[in-house]
Each structure stands twice: as structure tokens, then as C-alpha cells.
Amino acid sequence: MFSVTDHIPARGGSDKQFSPGRSQLALQDHPRVVAHHFSGREVRPASREVVVDGTKRKLQPRAFDLLVYLIEHRHRVLSIDELLDAVWRDRDVQVCSLATAIARIRAVLGAGASGDEVIIQTHHRVGYRFVAVLECDARVAW
């Protein structure tokens, strides 16, 4: 059985040992999370689904992993390096890959087109933060 403490190669490394995807780690960390609900949207980590106004939407695997990571760490701004390490840990990628994934997430969630709703906030040259209010956050005072 693989554990989180087993060897996980650094981003850009050529080590061929198995390392689970981010979503697999997320499920181990939060086994009771069935779905994240916000603004008529639902993100289901276990089934890797995104639902917008009752309709399932397709999202590429790395973009999905990025969205889940942003939601799970929504209480702070996540640096570009942290996001690249967390989601693309097994590949050497450019910052534009992160920006492209963010754009795909925004397109699938239908946010930002009219400029009236921000789900993922950009902190230029620093990183990103998930800022939509989850239904569980609305009931709990941080």
C-alpha cells in the first residue's frame, strides 16, 4: 500500500517511482468530503465531476486537481510555485500551464465572463486564491 510519506519525486525530476495524483491524496486527507457546493456549482472530488446548474461539465484532469487544491486551501493565497509543485509535481512545466488551467476552470465554472462574479482571484506575480463562499463556510464563522 502506498502512503503519503513514501517517495514522491520533485517537480521536473526523472524518478520513475509511482506517485499518486493530487486528487488521490485529497481523498485520503478528506474522506468525508462528498462535494463542495458554491454559487449553484458543485465539485465532487471522489467522482471527479464538476456540476454547474445541474449540468455536468468536463474539466481536464490537471485542471480538476488544481481546482480541488485551490478549494482545499481557500483560506490563503497559494503561490505559483506551490501550485506547480502540488499539481504538476512529476513534470517540468511553465507558468503558462498554470494560467491555462486557471482559464479552463473559469470557463467551465462560467465565472468571470461578465465580471460580476469572482471564483478564483488572481494575485499578479504571486499566485491564486479560491474566493467563492462554500455553503459550509457560509454556516461557519472562521
DSSP-assigned letter for residue 6: S
How does pLDDT run along the chain (142 residues), one tens digit per residue? Answer: 333 334 434 445 444 333 445 444 444 454 556 899 998 999 999 999 999 999 999 999 999 999 999 999 999 999 999 999 999 987 888 899 999 999 999 999 987 555 568 999 999 999 999 999 998 865 544 4
According to DSSP, residue 33 is labeled -
Number of H helices, E strands in the chain: 5, 7
DSSP, residue by residue, 43-106: EETTTTEEEETTEEE---HHHHHHHHHHHHTTTSPEEHHHHHHHHSTTS---HHHHHHHHHHHH
- 22-139 has which CATH code? 1.10.10.10
pTM: 0.73
